[in-house]
A and B are shown apart, each in its own frame.
Chain A
Amino acid sequence: MSATTERHVGQPLRRKEDPRLITGKARYIDDIALPGTLWAAFVRSPEAHARIVSIDAGAARARPGVHAVYTGADMADIGGPLPLAWAPPGVQVNNPPHWPLARASVKHVGDPVAVVIGDDRYAVVDAAEDVVVEYDPLPVVTDPEQALAGAPFVHPELGTNQVHQWTLAGGELEAGFAEAEVTIERRVVNHRIAGAPIEPRGVLADYRAGTITLYSSTQVPHFVRLFVALLLGTSEEKVRVIAPEVGGGFGSKLQIYGEEIVACWASRRLGRPVKWVETRSENMAVTHQGRDQIATVRMGARRDGKITAYHVQIVADLGAYNMLLTPLIPSLGAFVMGGCYRIPAVRTDITGVFTNKCPTDAIRGAGRPEATHMIEVMMDQMARELGIDRLELRRRNFIPKEDFPAAVATGVVYDSGDYHASLDKLLEHVDLDAFRQEQARLREQGVHRGIGFSTYTEICGLAPSRITGPAGVGVGAGLWESALVRVHNTGAVTVYTGTSPHGQGLETAFAQIVADRLGVDPSVVEVIHGDTGTGPEGRGTYGSRSLANGGEAIVKATDKVVAKAAKIVAAELEAAPEDIVVRDGKFSVKGSPDKGMTLAEIAGVAYIGAVPEGMEPGLEETTFNDPENFVFPFGAHACIVDVDVATGKVDVVRYVAVDDCGNPVNPLLIAGQIHGGIAYGIGQALYEHVVYDDDGQLVTGSFVNYALPTAAELPSFELDHTVTPSPVNALGVKGVGEAGTIAATPAVTNAVVDALEPLGVHYINMPLTPMRVWRAIEEAQAR
């Protein structure tokens, strides 16, 4: 068998998903209506920390149209608290119970205390206001460093706010620092942000006669099914979870949320479908948030620029509870802590801390943006200290392309890379000499323009089980991916994937892959995802894993179909199966191209005619793909900013990105992912910040005070790429969903410092809001 001549892979096909989305015909969670549906509204804590003294639901229950009000006590029959799926070998993780409805106490603003269920979406909100909860306020802690120092405790029974400690170390750290002629240390703060998909979460649970169907706006329907079954004490096959059209996730829908459990439980109790759609205010308060790390970062180097040691100590503010992967998230960054550089000794120490805030968990990049931000900011800081050009310093430390696959000090093996090539390509677009002249000229006019760079690599394609699973890092689930490829009677194809895309365009990308291999048009390949009632078990979409793992699973399943089809063709045409090739939409005999069969003809034999002796009828195959390694995309980004020194306002003037995500499947989708990723990173660097006051009150509770960038704040982005295939999968692909986000924050930050250098600002932490920048300028001037 050889590859087909039809090349859809690599082409910028416009998306199969779009016709329903652009015409308003897609079905998101709130668009699904079932007869007899009841609405749910949650009563949420206004206190950041309190004992629940009493709950009086009498007035709420008495309102017309209200069917029930439930509290944590009513749900005493559930099988356990919400899950933490991370149990690293040898690491103790404090994990107090986190209930779908609070029991006895609340730990952060928005913690759910009761749920009101009734006929009408407006009326349940009214009724929720009538539930009277008496709270006995308890002392609050919101600063993670104070929380580590001692009382008050978020969970007093633990006698500590520490969640866990975890270390990843490789190489001789002390020897590395001893060899260093220059050592610098910075406090790098990576502030808390919200995932903020434009579609908030929502659930619709439908219990009937022993089975539960749960529609949920989730990235991980199979995980949700497992935990709904476990917590409701029902058998897994009795639960079907459907992720309908999902309006973005960014990690915030990679979770098992209490509302999913409550809706299923209440639907079973009431025998009616129960629906809840999150408001934006709820989303800002209770949908898990991300980042929130304070790191003490030490870097040692020789005078010639060789980095000899790198030590990162992170205090990670995990909020009030562990959720699905909460304490694991900072660890994901540890594997690529050394970035693109050959650093002989790298150590990361992580201390997780409880505070009275919303829990953190995976948000776009999950640990890797923090790691990249640190190393890329530190490279600029070190370059200044050494008096070496910052790009030259990077070049002197890059892992050379001859070294790949490259084992690094953190214990992982980078699959492939060519960091010099991406930086070279970037500099084809950015004329640095011209920029410096322009910068000098503008400074004379009072305009402070700066340029910042980041060269990054990241770890994605989450799998392989041997590293991510229980025996490795300790995630309680192997991370592989599945596919089922089904050829129908007519030669049309349905693909079932265990991934659960929510905007990435995988229906199109997967169809391209299958179409090439089967010699059909992508228009006759339909991709079904996000439904546990169809197709094999799956693991969902996050961590830029869907193409490298899910796409590869589809390749393998499709190749099995091709092999069977070839046998059918060989028997029909009296040739050897090895001599069958897919060419011009046909399975034909090598050397005699007009002798062949279309997929439709082959399917006709497989289902209607007679298959060769000893072969089962039908034409479909399933695979579970567990790759050997992660994939490591990389690239080089440059950002040019103007800083208004009178107000501290930063404007992004130009953003140029060169990315390498291996072989491209659909360049349109890749560009879209990078655009969105860059905007996400710029958003964090300049505008977004989840703020709690000292009493644990959420200051940024809506889109009025949580500033997402709009079109007016952002420039168009200039993209280019290099192609370094991954050796880990047959497609040669890497992931691209997080790359832009990972690369952008240090590029922006380094640009602001470059702009303000003449004013004496040499270092600054995000978010680079006007107030923060203005203060930095004022302080520098006062020195």
Chain B
Amino acid sequence: MSNRVTVTLTVNGSEHEIEVEPRRLLVHALRDDLGLTGTHVGCDTSSCGACTVHLDGLAVKSCTILAAQAEGAQITTIEGLGGEHSLHPLQEAFWNEHGLQCGYCTPGMIMAAAALLEENPHPSEAEVRRALDGNLCRCTGYHNIVRAVQSAAQAQAPVAS
């Protein structure tokens, strides 16, 4: 393909320069070009949130922006949030609270929840539910996801009593 653009992205702290078609979705750049397959694709209408990553600190659906639009951006994916030996409090909480079953929605759910907690460190149940309404889970009924987010909030920054 002749029609290619060069895009520079900083993903999970490392800088990458990739050559992509202008129409390439960010999610495919992350998954197929950079091998970061923790970010998933569950729909083609920007509905499910399985592809949620952080772009310059904001939760975005990476299926809904082009890689080229992310030029120069700082991106964090689930792999950058925390690893096997350095779990993020949300990862730990999803594990403890059984906040996942098939796990397919989980990376997007955790990234969306992480953005919520940045903004609102102690969300109420209703606030958690509203904040996650762009992320679909078919397995859990959301019950334990909500509990996980609230317990991570507690672990991260206990409310002063």
Q: Do A and B originate from a single complex? A: yes
Q: Looking at the complex, which one of B82, B105, B134, B145 makes contact with A23 (CB distance below 8 Å)?
A: B82
A714–B100 Cα distance when bound, in Å, is 17
Please give, as numbers and ranges, the residues of chain B lying within 8 Å of A31 by CB-CB distance.
Answer: 31, 37
With A27-B37, A248-B138, A503-B102 known as contacts, the answer to whether A704 contacts B45 (CB < 8 A) is: yes
* Interchain CB contact under 8 A, B136 and A708: yes
A711 interfacial contact with B, CB 8 Å: yes
Stretch at the interface among A567-575, A625-633, A668-676: A668-676
A20, B94: Cα distance in complex, Å: 12
Stretch at the interface among B54-62, B67-75, B125-133, B153-161: B125-133
A18-B94, A248-B102, A672-B140 are known contacts; what are 19 more A-B pairs with Cβ within 8 Å? Answer: A17-B103, A19-B95, A24-B77, A24-B79, A28-B104, A30-B31, A120-B1, A198-B50, A200-B42, A247-B42, A248-B101, A503-B102, A669-B98, A676-B138, A711-B128, A711-B145, A712-B132, A714-B143, A717-B143
Contact in complex: B23, A122 (CB < 8 Å) = yes
**Contact at A199–B79, with CB atoms within 8 Å?**
no
Judge whether B98 and A14 touch: CB under 8 Å: yes
Which residues of B have CB within 8 Å of A198?
40, 42, 48, 50, 102, 104-105, 136-139
Contact residues of B between 72 and 101, Cβ < 8 Å to A: 77-79, 82-84, 87, 91, 94-96, 98, 100-101
Q: At the interface, yes or no: A490 with Cβ under 8 Å from chain B?
A: no
B141 x A679 contact (CB < 8 A): yes
CA distance A196 to B45 in the complex (A): 14
Query: Is B110 an interface residue when CB atoms closer than 8 A count as contact?
Result: yes
Chain A residue at minimum C-beta to C-beta distance from B143: A675
A708–B95 Cα distance when bound, in Å, is 24
Q: Which residues of B contact A502 (CB under 8 A)?
A: 102
Count of B residues near A, CB < 8 Å?
Answer: 61
Chain A positions within 8 Å of B141 at CB level: 675-680, 714, 717, 740
Interface of A is mostly: loop
Of A21, A678, A679, the residue contacting B100 (CB under 8 A) is A21
User: Quick one: which of B32, B37, B98 contacts A672, CB cutoff 8 A?
Assistant: B98
Pick from A22, A199, A676: contact of B91, CB under 8 Å: A22
Complex-state Cα separation, A679 to B105, whole angstroms: 15
* Shortest Cβ gap from A664 to chain B (Å): 14
Please tell me if A25 contacts chain B, counting CB pairs below 8 Å: yes
Q: Which A residues are CB-close (under 8 A) to B106?
A: 21-22
Q: B41 at the A/B interface (Cβ < 8 Å)?
A: yes
B44 within 8 A of A: yes
Cβ-neighbour of B45 out of A122, A280, A716 (below 8 A) = A280
> Is B133 in contact with A716, judged by CB distance below 8 angstroms?
no
Q: How far is the CA of A277 from the CA of B146 in the complex (A)?
A: 30
Interface residue from A21, A25, A712 paired with B130 (Cβ < 8 Å): A712
Most interface-central of A24, A197, A504, A710 (chain B CB within 10 A): A24
Alpha-carbon distance A113/B53, docked complex (angstroms): 36
Chain B, Cβ-Cβ closest to A740? B141
Chain B: which residue is nearest A678 at the CB level?
Answer: B141
Residue pair A248, B104 in contact (C-beta under 8 Å): yes
Q: Contact: A197 with B101, CB < 8 Å?
A: no
Contacts of A246 in B (CB 8 A): 102
Cα–Cα, bound, A505→B137 (Å): 16
A18 pairs with B95, CB closer than 8 A: yes
